[in-house]
Amino acid sequence: MISEAERAGAELVVDLGAVVANWRALRRMVGPRVDCAAVVKADAYSLGMVPVARALAVAGCRSFFVATPDEGTGLRRVLGRHGAIAVLHGVPPGAEGFFARHRLTPVINDLGALERWGRHARARGRAAAAYVHMETGLNRLAMPAADVERLIADPAPLRGLAATWMGHLACADDAESPMNRAQLDRFRGLLARLPKGAASFVASSGIALGRDYTFDQVRPGYALFGGDLAPGARKMRPVVRLRARILQVRRVDTPGTVGYGAAHRVTGLSRIATVPVGYADGYRRSLSGRAQAAIGTRLYPVVGRISMDLTTIDVTEAPANTARPGAWVDLIGRRAPIDTVGAWAGTIGYEILTGLGRRFPRRYVGGPDGA
């Protein structure tokens, strides 16, 4: 019987063993006294929240972050009663009971939300956890400085809450940026004026900045899935492999062209392989003429414009028995890592990873069940 990957002509292979190995490596980096959480928002960066979170939970991860309440309830079904789940977008007005029923911890981004969550906790007569995300310089989503100052002057809204103070760096992937130290100093200054509590300051790249930044908890996401911590920092184990079968190999000679807009003009007798992945699958059009794809251990250039469903590769230099219809080509993998593909596309690996489409199946290897 033909497999799902053969029907689709492509598949995304996700190495759950590598995800767990990356989490363990980061945990060793921060030391035993620091909680190493896992950010599994956006369906674990499109790799599948359910299998990824299950593998991490079996490995010992006990703290998880998602973006939305619905992601939180989906994760709660995976974890059961075990594990802490924090929702980065916070608790919407009127959703306090929903959060309590599903044992979700809100990340509080304004004083009004803190007051609502505290009142709900006191009305229930039991302490509730909360992250209080304080603005330190990113100016995106966090409690504004004026709200933080009000809380310092009057910490009454914290009654009934077990608060973890939270920050987030703007330039963590640039170890030389003065913003990192400025934000750290701002965060430490606020902690000194607030009631004592645990602190969580950095995500993936910030871990590479050292122990001054790690506090009581770190929140890696991208690094778990094979992304670089930062330029020159420790490399993580590759997790994803996007591979596609060659549909056709054709000979094109001068003055022939390849693809829409005649964007690629061959300079001699060439062999062009076509694979069934395109920008509808998240293999971005901006990779046209810039990316490379692997057959075995060698890389070959992507030529012509990437179209909605198809990509063309110049396999002139490849042995005919390896570049043939039905052979597998790696568009993302060890020879074309996710950060490199992002650079080829003129963006970041995060965008490539989270944009991978659903037409090709995910196949999981190295999981806790031996898959």
Buried-state track 275-314, b at ≥16 Cβ within 10 A, e below 16 = bbbbbebbbbeebbeebbbbbeeeebbbbbbbbebbbbbb
> What was the pLDDT predicted at 370?
44
Q: Which of 41, 222, 283, 300 is catalytic?
A: 41
Q: Which domain holds residue 252?
A: 240-365
Among candidates 217, 211, 205, which has minimal Cα distance to 29? 211
Residue 18, domain member (yes or no): no
Q: Which of 45, 131, 196, 260 is catalytic?
A: 260
Same domain for 319 and 178, yes or no, is: no
The yes-or-no answer on residue 235 being catalytic is: no
The yes-or-no answer on residue 196 being catalytic is: no
Residue 180, domain member (yes or no): yes
Same domain for 99 and 212, yes or no, is: yes
CATH (domain of 269): 2.40.37.10
Peptide bond into 255 cis (omega under 30): yes
Are 303 and 314 within 8 A, CB to CB? Answer: yes
Same domain for 69 and 181, yes or no, is: yes
Same domain for 219 and 258, yes or no, is: no
Same domain for 83 and 138, yes or no, is: yes
* Backbone phi, psi, residue 62, to 5°: -120, -5
Q: How far apart are CA 164 and CA 131, in angstroms?
A: 5
Residues 335-350: what's their mean pLDDT?
Answer: 97
CATH (domain of 207): 3.20.20.10
> What was the pLDDT predicted at 232?
75
Where is the domain boundary, 180, 195, 224?
Answer: 224
Residue 346, domain member (yes or no): yes
Q: Express each pLDDT in 121-174 by its tens digit.
A: 999 998 999 999 999 999 999 999 999 999 999 999 999 999 999 999 999 999
> What was the pLDDT predicted at 369?
53
> What was the pLDDT predicted at 1?
72
Q: Express each pLDDT in 198-238 by its tens digit.
A: 999 999 999 999 999 999 999 999 999 999 998 777 789 99
Same domain for 298 and 357, yes or no, is: yes
The rounded percent of the chain whose pLDDT value lies above 90 is 94
Number of domains in the chain: 2
pLDDT at 371 over 60: no
Same domain for 210 and 250, yes or no, is: no
Residue 20, domain member (yes or no): no
